[in-house]
Amino acid sequence: MDRASLQVIWAALLPDHAVVEAGSYSSSAQPGGASEQLATAGMQDSRRLEFLSGRLYARKALAALGREPIDIPIAIDRGPQWPEGVVGSITHTLGSSGGWASAAVSYVATVSSLGIDMECSENLDARALDVVLTSTERAFLMNVPPALRFREASLFWCAKEATLKAARGVTDPSEVEIQLSKSGEQFRATRRSAQQNAREDAWVFEGRTSYSDGFAFAVAYR
């Protein structure tokens, strides 16, 4: 995996007009302002590196979108607090080749919600999948050839995480029902607790997934 590969993968997954910046963790990344300085003050070195690398690429993405690369505070829901009129998402993960961070942003006028996630498959705990996946999702996996089952499970996990980031405020992955396409390259996400609600259509996200070099990728949006 390298920066160029990351950019290509994200560009193919993101909706039109979204901008992405991605790359390896940067030890030279610094807080963008007072809120980031406060947020990182008590962090362990590994978490601080992860956090600031994500913010570094987020500011680069904002600049590419034509916005000032400002300080990005932590919002009440623990996600990034983006400038007015902008939606976005940050993801970071560790692999055998090191840490990778990515950030995608778009204008609210073109995409009302956006979430991205990247996961290294070797870090996923099969026991956690039993808790996170719904019965419908587990049934889907049972029809997948055994050699591909963990890869597909990684895509489910990644799609759920991307959806949670896009939804803002929902924190339980088991509440999210993912319907993967037969190819595994697209998905539809709904909230299980809202399935009997008359406004169910208000909680529907579309998404795309990809898998490369042991990493799962997902983008959720509407």
Question: What does pTM read for this prediction?
Answer: 0.92
DSSP state, residue 15: P
DSSP string computed for 39-58: HHTT--HHHHHHHHHHHHHH
Confidence of residue 13 (pLDDT cuts 50, 70, 90): very high
Closest CA to 3 of 123, 68, 120, 99: 99
Partner residues linked to 218 by β-bridges: 117, 209
pLDDT at site 198: 47
**145 & 210 share domain:** yes
Using CB atoms within 10 Å of the CB of residue 214, give its burial: 0 to 12 exposed, 13 to 18 middle, 19+ buried.
Answer: middle
Q: How far apart are the first and last CA of the chain?
A: 28
Give the pairing of strands 98-107 and 19-24: antiparallel
Last residue of a domain, one of 112, 144, 178: 112
User: H or E stretch including 4?
Assistant: helix 3-13
Domain encompassing residue 176: 119-221
Per the structure, the count of domains in the chain is: 2
For the segment 95-154, what is each residue's pLDDT rounded down to a tens digit?
Answer: 888 999 999 999 999 999 999 999 998 887 777 777 888 889 988 988 889 888 888 989
For the segment 45-64, what is each residue's pLDDT rounded down to a tens digit?
Answer: 999 999 999 999 999 999 99
**47 & 123 share domain:** no
134 CA to centre of own chain: 20
CATH code at position 36? 3.90.470.20
Look up residue 11 and give its two tokens. 């560009």
**151 & 175 share domain:** yes
